[in-house]
Structure 1
Amino acid sequence: MDTKPHIRFIINPKSGPKSKVDVAARIKLHLDHSKYSHEIVYTAHAGHATELAQTAAGQGAAMVVAVGGDGTVSEVARGLLGTETALAILPRGSGNGLARHLQVPMNIDGALRVINQGQSTRIDSGTINGHPFFTTAGIGFDAYISSVFAGNKKRGLKTYVELVLKEVRYYKHLPVKVSINGNTLDTDCFVLAFANAAQYGNNAYIAPLADIRDGLLDVCLVRQLDMFKALNLSYCMLTKQVASPDSAEYFKTDSVDVETDHRIMYHADGEFIGHDSKFSVRLLPLSLKVITLEKP
């Protein structure tokens, strides 16, 4: 009987560049078989990765590896929340936000070396209206872009930037009531981002000071956005700098409640969730075990 720690690789066959690498072959070639037993399974529909991860955790797997983009990673992570089974990542998407934060190499062979080392730590996660997220969630313009991006056949940073530049001129800020740290803000809102990790993905840092293990969310509020502020904010995001106070405001907290007069869009980890007029955002400390190159 094989008593080695077991790994389940969950592959999203729709993720990855057009010039597809034989991921299964790379796994079989570079995984340390003296340390681990393994199996490879494939997703068949949305939400399937969560089911496959939950089953693996229930069977006592040491590790479940998400092979895909941010959506696949988020689905697998949801299935592992609160368990002793660790999430590992073979990045195959366009953004790879959590993988980048955990310093996982963007190439398959490098990511497999991290898995072979098997160094684990625990990280925080968050929920927005009960939907788990691991990098960022938000309401306002970034949620709107997530909804548009989801329906676009083209992926990648270039497509995302083109959409932002096209849509930013037409999106209007909305009034919101934000309850945070015992205070209530009646404010305009262009973007209200809740950051567990520092970046959206593609090294675009919405909250450069965010620590994924500190038990706090970094909240970024952009009240109104003209072209000058948009350029300043974009530059800061791409250079990992905190935006100037007239462009964005930052708060640290473990919970946020938001009310709006009208139902507005929201997202979790870049996935458009839907519309609501009330939002409850909560931090779940050290709720997910992950494999990482070093402590994030």
Structure 2
Amino acid sequence: MSQRTKVRFIINPTSGTKSRKDVEALIREHLNQDKYAHDIVYTERAGHAPDLAREAANQGVAIVVAVGGDGTVNEVARGLLHTEAALAILPKGSGNGLARHLGIPMGLDGALRVINKANITTIDSGQINGHPFFTTAGIGFDAYISSVFAGNKKRGLQTYVELVMKEVLNYKHLPVIASINGNTLDTDCFVMAFANAAQYGNNAYIAPNADIQDGLLDVCLVRRLDLIKALNLSYCMLTKQLANADSAEYFQTDRVNVQAEEEMMYHADGDYLGKAQTFEVSMVPQSLRVLVP
């Protein structure tokens, strides 16, 4: 019998509703045991998963599986950048942005069948001020919502939409100077989103034309937002359409530099990172191997 391929599951025990026992049982039931030799490790704190993923890659593990939400996926993927190990995802979060973009089933049994097929491709990643992201990063209002959402006990799309509608008219736009494709843009900025993938998660499409393998960022700039524009933008996001030009503008580039008049909040893959005045955002083409259907 040929040697089985090594697979390591990195599980965030705080993600989702299924217990450790349930997830372990699903893995035993649906993973091809003739093809794979697997083990399971659990994260013990925020920031633990990159170390676990890097260790797995260094040990020659072929497939490293992130079991959790967007934050867990980001952490595991960070540990696998520029390695031969491939990322797989068992989605257990509220948004599951990368899994949805890649077409991975939301059910754990279906996601395990993707692993069994072992169809591997390579995707781009991005960086905002040195912090990797795989779906979206952003400055301004979406980062503010990420900071509020992180402290909210209730999760899911409904909670996210409620927060947006509650806060959207109270958040002020700020002046920024952005360098995009050699052009200088002196503009107000309510939000500037940098998309590697098409959506934030929950099928909310901020950049529906984004291609995760083209080496380009799709930049969505919202200068000012009133209630009508907010409703238009929300409708377009949920129907996978580009927003009208008076609500948002789109650019494609491999690098963006932004200087803000005062500190602005920023996020990567929905995780709030803090505040800064200067932002350097860039693409890292073909930097992560992933399993896809």
Does the alignment reach a TM-score above 0.5? yes
Name 2:182's counterpart in structure 1.
182
Q: What TM-score results when the alignment is normalised by the length of structure 1?
A: 0.97
1:137-174 CA deviation, whole Å, 9 max, x = no partner? 00000000001111111111111111101110100110
Q: Which amino acid aligns with 1:80?
A: L
Name 1:160's counterpart in structure 2.
160
Secondary structure in 2 matching 1:111: helix
Partner Cα separation in structure 2 for residue 265 and residue 109 of structure 1: 37
Alignment of 1:203-218 (within 5 A): 203-218=203-218
Name 2:26's counterpart in structure 1.
26
Q: Which amino acid aligns with 1:28?
A: R
Q: For structure 1, which runs of at least 5 residues remain unmatched after alignment? A: none
Matched, 1:149 2:149: yes
Q: Is the 8 A contact 1:220 1:249 kept in 2?
A: yes
1:71-112 CA deviation, whole Å, 9 max, x = no partner? 100000000000010000000001000000010000011000
Partner Cα separation in structure 1 for residue 261 and residue 243 of structure 2: 28
Secondary structure in 2 matching 1:124: strand
Change in 2 beyond 3 A, CA 1:64/1:256: same
Partner Cα separation in structure 1 for residue 221 and residue 263 of structure 2: 18
Q: Is the 8 A contact 2:135 2:196 kept in 1?
A: yes
Question: Which piece of structure 1 moves more, 189-198 or 9-18?
Answer: 9-18
Secondary structure in 1 matching 2:148: helix
Name 1:258's counterpart in structure 2.
258
Secondary structure in 1 matching 2:78: helix
Partner Cα separation in structure 2 for residue 18 and residue 177 of structure 1: 46
Change in 2 beyond 3 A, CA 1:18/1:167: farther
Shift of 1:17: 2.6
Partner Cα separation in structure 2 for residue 84 and residue 21 of structure 1: 30
Secondary structure in 1 matching 2:215: coil
Matched, 1:110 2:110: yes
Partner Cα separation in structure 1 for residue 191 and residue 101 of structure 2: 22
Secondary structure in 1 matching 2:90: strand
> Over aligned residues, Cα RMSD in angstroms?
1.3
Change in 2 beyond 3 A, CA 1:18/1:159: farther
Q: Is the 8 A contact 2:173 2:223 kept in 1?
A: yes
Secondary structure in 2 matching 1:98: helix
Q: For structure 2, which runs of at least 5 residues remain unmatched after alignment? A: none
Shift of 1:3: 2.9
Q: Is the 8 A contact 1:143 1:270 kept in 2?
A: yes
Q: Is the 8 A contact 1:200 1:270 kept in 2?
A: yes
Q: Which amino acid aligns with 1:199?
A: Q
Name 1:58's counterpart in structure 2.
58
Name 1:46's counterpart in structure 2.
46
Name 1:248's counterpart in structure 2.
248
Partner Cα separation in structure 2 for residue 97 and residue 286 of structure 1: 19
Partner Cα separation in structure 2 for residue 33 and residue 89 of structure 1: 18
Shift of 1:261: 1.6
Matched, 1:231 2:226: no
Shift of 1:20: 7.9
Partner Cα separation in structure 1 for residue 210 and residue 277 of structure 2: 26
Q: Is the 8 A contact 2:9 2:64 kept in 1?
A: yes
Q: Is the 8 A contact 2:179 2:256 kept in 1?
A: yes
Q: Is the 8 A contact 1:2 1:37 kept in 2?
A: no
Shift of 1:2: 8.1
Q: What TM-score results when the alignment is normalised by the length of structure 2?
A: 0.98
Partner Cα separation in structure 2 for residue 147 and residue 100 of structure 1: 22
Share of identical aligned residues, percent?
Answer: 72
Q: Is the 8 A contact 2:216 2:283 kept in 1?
A: yes
Partner Cα separation in structure 1 for residue 5 and residue 58 of structure 2: 14
